[in-house]
Amino acid sequence: MVRSMVPGRGVQRLFIKASTRKRQYFDKVLAATLSFHTVVCYMLVMKIGTLELCNNLILAPLSGVADAPFRNMAARWGAGMVTSEMISAHSLARGDARAMEMLRHDSRTCAFTAQIFGADPEIMAEAARRAEVSGVHAVDINMGCPVNKVIRTGAGAALMREPHRAEAVIRAVRRAVSIPVTVKIRSGWDESHRNAMEIAQRAAGQGADAVTVHPRTRSQGFRGNADWSFIAKTVEAIPIPVIGNGGVSSPADAVTLLRRTGCLGVMIGRGALGRPWIFAQLEHYLRGEPLPDTPGKVQLLQEILNHLHLAAQRTQRPGAISRMRMHIAWYTRGLPGARFLRKCLHLSNDFASMENILVSYFRNLGEDQFIEDGC
Ligand SMILES: Cc1cc2nc3c(=O)[nH]c(=O)nc-3n(C[C@H](O)[C@H](O)[C@H](O)COP(=O)(O)O)c2cc1C
């Protein structure tokens, strides 16, 4: 088998220039080549402005989920970049302790971007400055949050309804920091207002270094089909890297997303819950190498304990125990007796007793009962 060249900007450009018919032809040739002769490597050393990522696989911002311990797990399993939970620009700008704590990043192996949300350009700029001073590698502007509490303030997805304000926010943040600035958008507000390409063009025009597209509208929330054609259209519309997001839960999904849309990076959210090793699996698959095994019983317990120990170092964070219960529920999804395990964990209020419960649960779990997650 021959490994082809890494398809980077060259391939993206080729897609941009090709007419639809040519593009379909190119796709067919690529598919034929893939199946008969070549394993194409989709793994890229991705550049976002001045920042060079070790690969093009990114952990999504996940409010209430992607805290430092979980990000650390994703980094250990090979994510090229991890993103903070969304942080209120107001809180960050006034140096609120909890907001500052959300900027803490422990992993040295992978880049860390802080996502901020707000609608006031000056406050967003001040928040970005604080994030830069704290040592993050990039700042991401949230233009996708669908939650009413955020929308009411004009922030999140509401910015997509106000392109001039969106532009002013990006301009102010860009001027405030020297690290890369990225913008995360949806396909639009609702079915009849899908303006992702316009917002992406404005972002590129104001000096943003990359745009992430989650191609659901605000009305869709997190349900329904993520229409990847919007990612492809955005790739064609702007000269900066596009990161595709939405519905990637397996290595095959990631390759399909990269191939169909020409985007350069893949962002994974829910696909990483309870299985941060998805990044290692994706990395091997995108390199055209055999998939590593999903962790078996012994390794799964070890991984959960690793996560638990990382969380235990941060007990000062409110809700640390209940967050860990939530993560354990994801890790053990589908395993026999997982419901009983969850009930037991609800009765425990410290990390040491959680560890004991986990160890005895896994001790009683026979190898033959162990269910692979099928990734
Ligand atoms: C629990 C949860 C929290 C999320 N929090 C954020 C957030 O803070 N900022 C953001 O831009 N998107 C947030 N999202 C959206 C994800 O980043 C991502 O765009 C979406 O889940 C689609 O990707 P997926 O199909 O890989 O999960 C959140 C999604 C979920 C499910």
Q: Whose CA is nearest to atom 29 of ligand 1?
A: 62
- For residue 269 and ligand 1, the question of a CB distance below 6 A is answered with yes
115 lines ligand 1 (CB under 6 A): yes
**Secondary structure, 3-state, the chain:** CEECCCCCHHHHHHHHHCCHHHHHHHHHHHHHHHHHCEECCCCCCCEECCEECCCCEEECCCCCCCCHHHHHHHHHCCCCEEECCCEEHHHHHCCCHHHHHCCCCCCCCCEEEEEEECCCHHHHHHHHHHHHHHCCCEEEEEECCCCHHHHCCCCHHHHHHCHHHHHHHHHHHHHHCCCCEEEEEEEECECCECCHHHHHHHHHHCCCCEEEEEEEECCCCCCCCCCCHHHHHHHHHCCCCEEEECCCCCHHHHHHHHHHHCCCEEEECHHHCCCCCHHHHHHHHHCCCCCCCCCCHHHHHHHHHHHHHHHHCCCCCCCHHHHHHHHHHHHCCCCCCHHHHHHHHHHCCCHHHHHHHHHHHHHHCCHHHCCCCCC
Find the 215 Cα to ligand 1 centroid distance in Å.
12
The amino acid occupying position 343 is: K
Query: Is there an atom of ligand 1 within 6 Å of 146 CB?
Result: no
List Cβ neighbours of 314 (8 Å cut-off, separation of 6 or more): 67, 68, 69, 320
Mean pLDDT across the chain = 87
Total residue count of the chain as it appears in this document: 375
Q: Which of 183, 93, 88, 197 is nearest to 138 (CA)?
A: 183
When pLDDT is cut at 50, 70 and 90, the band that residue 43 belongs to is: low
157 within ligand 1 shell (Cβ under 6 A): no
CB atoms within 10 A of CB 274: 22
Q: Which residues are designated catalytic?
A: 145
Residue 3: is its pLDDT beyond 60?
no
Query: Is the predicted pLDDT of residue 300 greater than 50, yes or no?
Result: yes
Looking from the CA of residue 272, the nearest atom of ligand 1 is 26
pLDDT at 10 over 60: no
Q: Is 323 in the pocket of ligand 1 (CB under 6 A)?
A: no
* Ligand 1 atom at minimal distance to the Cα of residue 117: 9
Nearest CA to ligand 1 atom 22: 246
Select the more confidently predicted residue: 294 or 148.
Answer: 148
Buried b (16+ CB within 10 A) or exposed e, 143-159: bbbbeeebbeeebbbbb
- Summarize pLDDT for 51-104 with one digit per residue, the tens: 999 999 999 999 999 999 999 999 999 999 999 999 999 999 999 999 999 998
CA of 84 to the centre of ligand 1 (A): 11
Q: Measuring from atom 28 of ligand 1, which residue has the nearest CA?
A: 62
Q: What is the pLDDT of residue 24?
A: 44
Taking the mean position of all CA atoms in its chain, how far away is CA 337? 30
C-beta of residue 174 within 8 angstroms of C-beta of residue 207: yes
pLDDT tier at 370 (50, 70, 90 boundaries)? low
Pocket perturbation via mutation, ligand 1, pick of 57, 63, 91 by most ligand atoms within 8 A of CB: 63
Check: CB of residue 117 under 8 Å from CB of residue 143. Answer: no
Regarding the beta carbon of 268 and ligand 1, being less than 6 Å apart is answered yes
Please say if the pLDDT value at position 244 is more than 70.
yes
Ligand 1 contact via 33 beta carbon (within 6 Å): no
CA distance 236 to 371: 42
Identify the top-confidence range among 3-7, 11-15, 239-243: 239-243
- Is 215's C-beta closer than 6 angstroms to any atom of ligand 1? no
Angle at 23 between CA 22 and CA 29, to 5 degrees: 90
pLDDT tens sequence across 170-216: 999 999 999 999 999 999 999 999 999 999 999 999 999 999 999 99
Question: What distance in Å separates the CA atoms of residue 141 and residue 62, rounded to the nearest whole number?
Answer: 14
- Cα distances (Å, whole numbers) of residue 139 to 95, 97, 292, 324: 16, 19, 32, 27
Higher pLDDT, 288 or 21: 288
Give the mean model confidence (pLDDT) for residues 263-283: 96
pLDDT band at 9 (very low <50, low <70, confident <90, very high): very low
Residue 291 has pLDDT above 90, yes or no: no
Counting atoms of ligand 1 from 1, which one is nearest the CA of 144?
Answer: 11
Structure tokens at 373: 């997650």
